[in-house]
Amino acid sequence: MKLLRFKDEEIYPSKIVCLIVNYHAHGKELQHAIPEMPLWFLKPPQSIIGDGESVVLPELSKNIHHEVELAVVIGKQGKDIPIEHALDYVLGYTILLDITARDLQDKYIKEGRPWSISKGFDTFAPTRLDIVPTSEIKDPNNLGLRLTVNGIVRQDSNTKNMIFSVEELVSEISKVTTLEKGDIIATGTPEGVGQIFSGDKLFAEIEGIGTLSVDVK
């Protein structure tokens, strides 16, 4: 795994909290119901790789998907964080690709079993390791985000289309679990998810944050 960086400091995330269906159009494309409150799963921090590294396709799956997401990095410990103070707990923002073994996820959903393994393989969380400070992002709920595969646009949306805002996510998640410095909230993916193959080159960008490139092995 790789550590995050904030200026000269290395930061270890104790958890990656990933949102389930936080864009209407993505819920529609997967035929998943829109949740009434933020629903999430945990991805192991061991799955983090950095810019220029490779997603390794596991033998257990035949259908691996890309999901581009705005990642919120927590700056200080918080529990039951009031929504009006939520951004005080945010250190900054970055880009995370929530790589997903869609066939395993679909199979376990159908069987009513937990589907953590579909999200938890090593290399399944390519992340721009350098965190952009909160002060540099005027409104995290209005950022263009985009993903190309081999130069072809697959996902192109804006965080204003999120169902739950960054403030709501921080506040609601902290009602369940204590958020620690370095923890990542991956805020969900817009529509356009699709399969990746060995040799593909993924290029993600989020307005005001920067870019992230990885290839697929």
Q: For binding to Mg ion (CB under 5 A), which residues are involved? A: 67, 98, 189
The CB-of-149 to Mg ion minimum distance in angstroms stands at 16
Q: Which is nearer to Mg ion, 3 or 30 (CB)?
A: 30
CB of 174 to Mg ion, least distance (A): 20
Task: For Mg ion, give the closer residue by CB, 157 or 189.
Answer: 189
Beta-bridge partner residues of 96 = 69, 127
Sign of CA dihedral 142, 100, 196, 29: negative
Distance in Å, CB of 212 to Mg ion, minimum: 15
| CA nearest neighbour of 140 among 100, 188, 203, 202 | 188
Give least dist CB 214 to Mg ion, A: 16
- Please say which residue, 6 or 43, places its beta carbon nearer to Mg ion: 43
**How deeply is 68 buried, as exposed, middle or buried, from its count of CB atoms within 10 A (0-12, 13-18, 19+)?**
buried
Between 6 and 104, CB nearer to Mg ion: 104
Q: Is the dihedral of CA 49, 52, 53, 55 positive or negative?
A: positive
